[in-house]
C-alpha cells in the first residue's frame, strides 16, 4: 500500500511562513511543524510571490492580484490605442472622400 501525501491547511502554511518571516530558523520551524525544510522554502517562495493569493487550495487559479491588475492596465491601454487608430483611419477615409468628390488630385 502506498503512502498518502499529507495535506496542510492554508492557516498552517501561513503560520509556518510567518514564523520564518519573524526570524525563526528554517530548521527550527521545520522540526516544530514536522515538515521538510524544502517544503517550507517552497511555501515561503509562494507566499512572497503572491501574499494575497498564496495557498489557494484545490481548484483555484493562482493569479496574483498584481498580475491581474497589470493585465487590466494593459487591456485598457490597448483599448485607448485602438480607439485612437480608429479615429485616425476615419479621418483619412473622410479626407479621401472629400478629395474624390471635389475631383482635385491629392498633392504629396
- The per-residue pLDDT for 6 is 81
Report whether 90 contacts 45 (CB < 8 A): no
The residue that leads in pLDDT, 5 or 97, is 97
Per-residue pLDDT of 1-20, as tens digits, reads 566 778 888 889 999 999 99
Query: Which ranges of the chain does DSSP label H, i.e. alpha helix?
Result: 10-21, 26-33, 37-49, 65-102
Residue 53 CB coordination number (10 Å): 18
Per-residue pLDDT of 27-71, as tens digits, reads 999 999 999 999 999 999 989 988 877 887 754 455 566 777 888
Report whether 50 contacts 62 (CB < 8 A): yes
Q: What is the pTM of this model?
A: 0.50
Phi, psi of 55 (to 5 degrees): 55, 60
Amino acid at each position: 500500500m502506498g503512502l498518502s501525501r499529507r495535506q496542510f491547511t492554508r492557516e498552517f502554511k501561513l503560520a509556518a511562513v510567518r514564523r520564518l518571516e519573524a526570524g525563526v530558523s528554517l530548521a527550527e520551524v521545520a522540526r516544530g511543524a514536522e515538515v521538510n525544510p524544502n517544503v517550507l522554502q517552497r511555501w515561503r517562495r509562494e507566499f512572497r510571490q503572491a501574499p494575497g493569493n498564496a495557498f489557494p487550495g484545490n481548484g483555484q487559479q493562482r493569479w496574483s492580484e498584481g498580475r491581474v491588475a497589470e493585465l487590466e492596465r494593459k487591456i485598457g491601454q490597448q483599448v485607448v490605442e485602438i480607439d485612437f487608430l480608429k479615429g485616425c483611419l476615419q479621418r483619412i477615409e473622410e479626407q479621401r472622400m472629400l478629395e474624390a468628390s471635389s475631383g482635385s488630385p491629392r498633392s504629396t
